[in-house]
Every structure is written in C-alpha cells, then in structure tokens.
C-alpha cells in the first residue's frame, strides 16, 4: 500500500498533479459519483482538508468546442493546500494544488478542479474536460470537472462557494482517466533520448476538436519526428496514430 502511494506521489509531483485514482489504460474511467461527494470506502474516515493559500484572481482560458470553435472565456484561479491524516502517507502530509474555475455563459456548463489556466479545456455535449499540456511517458491525462453545470443564474463566484462548502480536498487529487499513447509509436518515441530509460515529458504542440474527435500533435524528444493521434471523446480510445517528419 505504501509502495503504491510512493509511485503515485512521484507521478503527482512530476506531472502537474496527476492524482492517484484507479484508472484503466486507453479507456474512459469515471470517478466516484462526484455529485454526492461521498468518499470511496478505502479513504472514508480519513481527513482530506483543503485550505486556500491565495486569493481567487482573474484569468483567461481557451475552450475547445466539438463544433471546432475555439473561444476564450473569463475564469478564476487560486492555489489550495491539501492536508491529509492518511496513515500510510508517512511524512508527506500536504501538497499545493492549482485550481481553475469558469462557467460557459453559452450553456451553463462549468469547470472547477485541479488544473492550470494554460491547460486545454474541451467541451462536449454534456460536460467540460481538462487536458494536461504535457504527456508523461507517452500517457495523456484528463480530468472531469468537479461541478459539471452551474445552477440557474449561478456565476463563477457562486460555483466557487459551492465548491468551498461541499467538495472534500481528496477530489482535487483525482484524475478521471488516462489514455496510453506509447504503444502506438516505436520504442523510445516519448523518451528524452534513444536508449535512455528514464521517463520524461512530451509537450503537446497543438490540439484540434471536431465532431467528438480530438487530435493531438506533439514532437518526439528522442527522434525529433512529429506524432499525431486521433481520440474518440466518447470513449477516450485511440482511433488513429501517425508518425511523420
């Protein structure tokens, strides 16, 4: 159990707070029903407090719609500290998490959760997802919003108050799912150098969203060739992959 946490912690510290939720490779994995805010059985009885460290400040985010439209929205961001009494965490008892919040005024869909305001935010028919801007060891990490939709006439301030009152800090550390890309490319494609076995980051160069399909473009650190994948946003499965110069 302690070994599992250490591995998860390494991912969390090195990849934009990936979180340690249970996920399956190359498939959509929903977190425990976030609308009820009931903690999973394995962490019930533990304390996962969240404390705000900075004031909420204004920022901007880019939202990619499945129509192909890309729009800039007003948003808020702040930094929270998560503190836990988990008995196998050892000396590591807290960590800081960036949180972003915004409401799409067009339809009331909302995002609030662990994220960076420079991340990619994608809106499908039902909700908004966040994509980390980096692939870690050839893996795409994505999150669902902790609050899917604003209630009637609720602005981002009202949603933040609901988040403050209702959402346990544990939820901020969870990743909704991961999609493995490395198996679609040759060995070492996502590593810093050929024959260097330590894992690394691969920045996403650009994305494109159209008709429930997501295209991601990136550059291999080892080979300096380009790569692209097309992903079904309903299932988060890879539809197609390509490497080129």
More confident residue, 138 or 30: 138
Q: Which residue has the higher pLDDT, 172 or 63?
A: 63
Confidence of residue 137 (pLDDT cuts 50, 70, 90): confident
Dist CA 118 CA 100 (whole Å): 10
- Mean pLDDT, residues 71-100: 81
**How much of the chain exceeds pLDDT 90, in percent?**
57
- Residue 98 forms beta bridges with which residues? 79
What separation in angstroms does the CA of 66 have from each of 11, 46, 215? Answer: 30, 39, 11
pTM for this prediction: 0.80
Q: At 225, is the secondary structure helix, strand, or coil?
A: coil
Residue 175 has pLDDT above 60, yes or no: yes
For residues 230 and 207, what is the distance between their CA atoms, to the nearest angstrom? 10
Q: Which residue matches tokens 């893996």?
A: 139
Which of 240, 191, 179 has the alpha carbon at shortest distance from 215?
240
Residue with tokens 């429930």: 212
* Separation in Å, CA 58 to CA 21, 74, 76, 103, 147: 30, 7, 5, 13, 19
pLDDT band for position 20 (cuts 50, 70, 90): very low
Residue 151 has pLDDT above 80, yes or no: yes
Q: What is the pLDDT of residues 93-131, one digit of tens each?
A: 678 999 999 999 999 999 999 999 899 999 988 899 999
Higher-scoring residue by pLDDT: 29, 183: 183
């Amino acid at each position: 159990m302690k070994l599992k946490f250490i591995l998860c912690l390494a991912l969390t510290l090195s990849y934009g707070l990936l979180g340690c939720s249970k996920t399956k490779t190359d498939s959509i994995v929903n977190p425990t029903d976030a609308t009820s805010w009931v903690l999973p059985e394995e962490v019930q009885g533990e304390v996962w407090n969240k404390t705000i460290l900075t004031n909420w400040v204004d920022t901007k985010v880019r939202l990619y719609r499945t129509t192909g439209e890309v729009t800039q929205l007003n948003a808020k961001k702040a930094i929270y500290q998560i503190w836990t009494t988990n008995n196998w965490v050892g000396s590591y008892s807290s960590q800081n998490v960036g949180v972003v919040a915004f409401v799409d005024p067009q339809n009331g869909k909302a995002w609030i959760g662990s994220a960076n305001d420079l991340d990619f935010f994608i809106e499908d028919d039902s909700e908004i997802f966040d994509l980390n801007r980096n692939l870690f060891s050839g893996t795409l990490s994505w999150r669902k919003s902790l609050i899917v939709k604003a209630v009637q006439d609720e602005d981002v301030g009202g949603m933040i108050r609901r988040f403050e009152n209702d959402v346990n800090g544990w939820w901020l550390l969870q990743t909704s799912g991961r999609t493995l890309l490395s198996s679609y490319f040759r060995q070492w494609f996502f590593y810093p150098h050929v024959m260097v076995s330590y894992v690394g980051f691969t920045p996403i160069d650009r994305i494109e969203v159209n008709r429930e399909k997501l295209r991601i473009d990136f550059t291999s650190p080892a080979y300096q060739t380009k790569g692209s994948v097309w992903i079904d946003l309903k299932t988060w499965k890879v539809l197609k992959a390509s490497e080129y110069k």
